[in-house]
Amino acid sequence: MLNLKFSHNAHIQFRPIRPSDLEVLEKLHADMFPIRYESEFFQNVVNGRDIISWGAVDCNQPNGQDDELIGFVTARIVLAKDSEIEDFLRYDSARSNHTLVYILTLGVAEGYRNLGIASSLIHEVIKYASTIPTCRAVYLHVISYNNPAIYLYKKMSFRCIRRLPAFYFINSQHYDAYLFIYYMSGGRSPCSPIVGVASVKDKMRESRLRWFGHVKRRSIDAPVRRCERLAMESLRRGRGRPKKYRGEVIIHDMALLQFTEDMTLDRRVWRSRNKVEVSSLRF
């Protein structure tokens, strides 16, 4: 039980989610997430079919609903070799029967936030994962603008491994996601050449696009843009020249990240969307 700084002396307890939680669980998800979950997902959660879960309840609720969910976390066990993060694990972890715990959803009702409830729920997941001998990591995705959640995962020693452009498609709009991993013993790759190369590539792309944004925001007469025109005028390729011109590489970079040229006009947006997390290089 937690000791909370809360107006009515809440007493929070954690327990598995069960069938009687179905309605409240659906409502909490609908209130908190921009994504709609299938009813099959909720059925699987409350019946523990392929999904593990914990709920938080306030035993001291003023309305007497002392068993009603005010927070939840849902997760699934996946095989490391089938997961998208196998490159971020030790070589042998990804090759054998090792497993991972993937956090599907996490949420705390608004009136109960910043009281440490989500931290405790994640702690339950980590504790559970550490009892599985084959488990090498707990991981999850978070939408790039969800600062409270990002702060929380960093605080709980999850490592932000990568920014995934346009990972979510919500209401006809793309949003990036961060991939966070909490390594269990022996799960972390001590030095993965694959990750190292990929990250340096990301950083080089970031630098190219930062320069491109800088150039595009200058006036058409600025010296830097005259160079751009000179480059376009001398289009003939000689022997031994690089296979691609810088402009071609930038077009490819922009297509990859689904950037458009008019985005360069807002420096703040351009730089934040283009940013590659430094933590992804720490391997």
Ligand X SMILES: CC(C)(COP(=O)(O)OP(=O)(O)OC[C@H]1O[C@@H](n2cnc3c(N)ncnc32)[C@H](O)[C@@H]1OP(=O)(O)O)[C@@H](O)C(=O)NCCC(=O)NCCS
End-to-end CA distance of the chain: 38
On the CB side of 188, CA atoms within 13 Å amount to 13
Task: Work out whether 125 is an interface residue with ligand X (CB under 6 A).
Answer: no
Distance CA 53, CA 15 (A): 8
- What are the angstrom distances between the C-alpha of 250 and each of 21, 41, 212, 255? 51, 41, 8, 8
Candidate list 63, 131, 147, 234; residue touching ligand X; CB under 6 A: 147
Interatomic CA distance for residues 40 and 49, integer angstroms:
10
3-state helix, strand, coil in the chain (%, to 5): 45, 25, 35
Beta bridge partners of 138: 101, 182
Residues in the chain: 283
Query: CB nearest ligand X: which residue?
Result: 118
Tell the smallest beta-carbon distance from residue 110 to ligand X (Å).
Answer: 8
Separation CA 54–CA 16 (nearest Å): 4
Residues 19-48 that bind ligand X (CB under 6 A): 32
The answer to whether 201 contacts ligand X (rule: CB under 6 A) is no
Is there binding between residue 65 and ligand X (CB under 6 A)?
no
Residue placing its CB nearer to ligand X in the complex, 177 or 254 = 177
Residue from the set 45, 52, 69, 115 that interacts with ligand X by CB under 6 A: 115
In whole angstroms, the minimum distance from the beta carbon of 155 to ligand X comes to 6
The yes or no reply on residue 3 touching ligand X (CB under 6 A) is no
- Of 58-66, 151-159, 187-195, 227-235: span binding ligand X (CB under 6 A): 151-159
210 binds ligand X (CB under 6 A): no
Of 157 and 207, nearer to ligand X (C-beta) is: 157
Residue 113 in contact with ligand X, rule: CB under 6 A: yes
* Piece of 139-147, 160-168, 195-203, 272-280 that binds ligand X (CB under 6 A): 139-147
Tell whether residue 142 is a contact of ligand X (CB under 6 A).
yes
Q: What are the contacts of 262-267 at 24+ separation with CB within 8 A?
A: 264/212, 264/213, 264/216, 264/217, 265/216, 265/217, 267/213, 267/217
CB of 51 or CB of 115, closer to ligand X: 115
C-alpha dist (Å) from residue 252 to 221, 231, 242, 258? 26, 18, 15, 10
Report helix, strand or coil for 58: strand
Q: Is 52 in the site for ligand X (CB under 6 A)?
A: no
Closer residue to ligand X, CB minimum distance, 52 or 117: 117
Among 145, 151, 169, 211, binds ligand X (CB under 6 A): 151
Residues 6+ positions from 41 with CB-CB distance below 8 Å = 51
Q: Is residue 5 involved in binding ligand X (CB under 6 A)?
A: no
Q: Which residues bind ligand X (CB under 6 A)?
A: 32, 106-108, 113-119, 142, 146-149, 151-152, 155
